[in-house]
Amino acid sequence: MQNQRVLVLDFGGQYNQLIARRIREQSVYCDLVPGDMSVEKIKEYGPIGIVFTGGPNSVYDEGSPMVDKEIFSLGIPILGICYGCQMMAYLLGGTVEKAENSEYGKADVEYSPSPLLSGMPPKAVSWMSHTDRITKLPEGFTRLAKSADCPFAAFGDEKRKLYGVQFHPEVQHTENGTQILRNFVYGVCGATGDWTMKGFVERKVAELREKIGDKKVLCAMSGGVDSAVAAALLHKAVGDNLICVFVDHGLLRKYEADEVMNVFKDGMGMNLIKADDGKIFLEKLKGVTDPEKKRKIIGEQFIRSFEKVSKQIGAVDYLVQGTIYPDVIESGKGKSAVIKSHHNVGGLPSVVDFKEIIEPLRDLFKDEVRGVGFELGLPKSVVMRQPFPGPGLAIRIMGEVTEEKLETLRDSDYILREEIAKAGLDESIWQYFTVITNSKTVGVQGDFRTYENVIAIRAVTSLDAMTADWARIPYDVLQVISNRIVNEIGHVNRIVYDITSKPPATIEWE
Ligand code: XMP
């Protein structure tokens, strides 16, 4: 059965995906679609509520995006946020003008009682980001909140269930902001909260079973979260008719390749074939120091290794891709997007003989993918795995990749991960790893002069890897990590901590 659905119409604001995620977190399914979706299509979609997002435009500028006014007579509750609320006010006969004082950042907002604001304190901080403001409400609307610079910080027409908020309830700086979104979907739209990962798994498994029947499905496993969860879901649906191929390029972290085999083959009994090609990769990387060349060699050999195994398997009916919802949204065309060859397994489709691509996670945000992973019984180490680059440890070793450097990197990285987990920082830091810097320094150990390797620690906080800041790991944790790496691993006498943000640096060193 179809879930109840909220439709989020996108007008180009920077927090739009966040709005959709916050609604989904309330156990209500929603889709983020371009703001110009026609009223006909909206009716067909059948949402229980509609949200207009913010956006960079001014309603009085020529060519600004506008909904068809008919949308207000569909009887579907609407919440306009920022630009979305100005557009609603403007189209229904209110006045929107350039504000004397733009309002950016935190503002004290006073709330009045309303179904939208149920449970809100009389006064709280909310996050504003606007240069225009509404100076006159359309007929039928009343003021529900105000701030010093914004006379109509929230307003509504309770009869028609149309609401607007000038601030951003979706960002964490807005106190109780999630409560407002929750009030909208439950109190105003009548949601029942039928979007759960348990329900998703049940429905998806039934759907995949029906679609696939006894045909063959092929999945490239990288050890990453998305491909792992996609494979586990398909395994639950079709069992042995799913064949997974895991190319071990020998550039994974300590114990990682074994874990993939333990969890998926031994633990779940998955039909998993491993291409143990570490030696081939290392041979091809011999003498190569240029980062781009390394990437290219690894990418090409990955495809060759996969091809070799898939030839033994022969033709399959379906190829699984770990595409997730942000990839679908970013393709800019919503659900009708042409299937792209996903960057996780770039280039694979052309070397595999298959009839159709299956993307079982294409409706899910990353947090939801993790939720499905837990629901399917995957261990935390797999489900909460930090992002890991396709070329693996090769781009964390400056200069030539050798077996010796790989071992040093794996051992130091393992110590770092152990200590970060022990300090309880593993879920707040986006990525953390060690780097072989390819430089040597003088040290003194046991009264002897040493001339050994420098290892760098890289740890960053980030929301999406587009920008990042260096993580403020407490000094005493850094000290333990430094001591352990130098004492427990040979050939290392110095540890440095990378304190560069992105930009100007990148997260990885190569
Ligand atoms: P940078 O180093 O560009 O990395 O700041 C941003 C994010 O992407 C990951 N990364 C990669 N992922 N293939 C991947 O699948 C790659 O070639 C690759 N290079 C970087 C990186 O770990 C970070 O999360």
The average confidence (pLDDT) of the chain is 93
| Ramachandran assignment for 332, one of left (phi > 0), alpha (psi -120 to 50 degrees), beta (any other) | left
Q: Are 359 and 339 in contact (CB under 8 A)?
A: yes
Tokens encoding 447:
């009264």
CA of 148 to the centre of ligand 1 (A): 44
Q: What is the pLDDT of residues 311-345, one digit of tens each?
A: 999 999 999 999 999 888 876 544 333 332 333 45
Among the listed residues 30, 103, 150, 170, the single catalytic one is 170
* Distance (Å, whole) CA 498 – CA 415: 17
* Distance (Å, whole) CA 147 – CA 128: 10
Instruction: Note the pLDDT of residue 405.
Output: 97
Q: Which amino acid is at 209?
A: R
Instruction: Note the pLDDT of residue 201.
Output: 98
Residue 348 beta carbon below 6 angstroms from any ligand 1 atom: no
Tokens encoding 347:
């280039």
Q: What is the pLDDT of residues 10-29, one digit of tens each?
A: 999 888 999 999 999 999 99
Tokens encoding 285:
């990387």
Q: If you ran DSSP here, which 8-state letter would residue 7 be given?
A: E
Which helix (H) or strand (E) segment holds residue 329: the answer is helix 325-330
Residue 223 beta carbon below 6 angstroms from any ligand 1 atom: no
Q: Report the atom number in ligand 1 closest to the C-alpha of 391.
A: 17
Residue 168 annotated to the active site: yes
Across 161-188, average pLDDT: 96
Q: Report the atom number in ligand 1 closest to the C-alpha of 343.
A: 15
Residue 170 annotated to the active site: yes
Instruction: Note the pLDDT of residue 346.
Output: 56
Q: Are 345 and 220 in contact (CB under 8 A)?
A: yes
Instruction: Note the pLDDT of residue 445.
Output: 87
Residue 387 beta carbon below 6 angstroms from any ligand 1 atom: yes
Beta strands in 11-166 (DSSP E): 29-34, 49-52, 78-81, 95-111, 123-136, 142-147, 150-157, 162-165
Residue 239 beta carbon below 6 angstroms from any ligand 1 atom: no
Question: What are the residues facing 147 on neighbouring strands?
Answer: 150
Instruction: Note the pLDDT of residue 334.
Output: 41
| pLDDT band for position 105 (cuts 50, 70, 90) | confident
CA of 458 to the centre of ligand 1 (A): 13
Q: Are strands 78-81 and 162-165 parallel, antiparallel or unpaired?
A: parallel
Instruction: Note the pLDDT of residue 137.
Output: 97
Residue 498 beta carbon below 6 angstroms from any ligand 1 atom: no
Instruction: Note the pLDDT of residue 332.
Output: 59
Q: What is the pLDDT of residues 141-151, one digit of tens each?
A: 999 999 998 99
Higher pLDDT, 1 or 365: 365
CA of 392 to the centre of ligand 1 (A): 9
The SS3 of residue 284 is: helix
Instruction: Note the pLDDT of residue 330.
Output: 74
CA of 292 to the centre of ligand 1 (A): 13
Across 455-468, average pLDDT: 92
Residue 323 beta carbon below 6 angstroms from any ligand 1 atom: no
Indicate the pTM of the whole model: 0.89
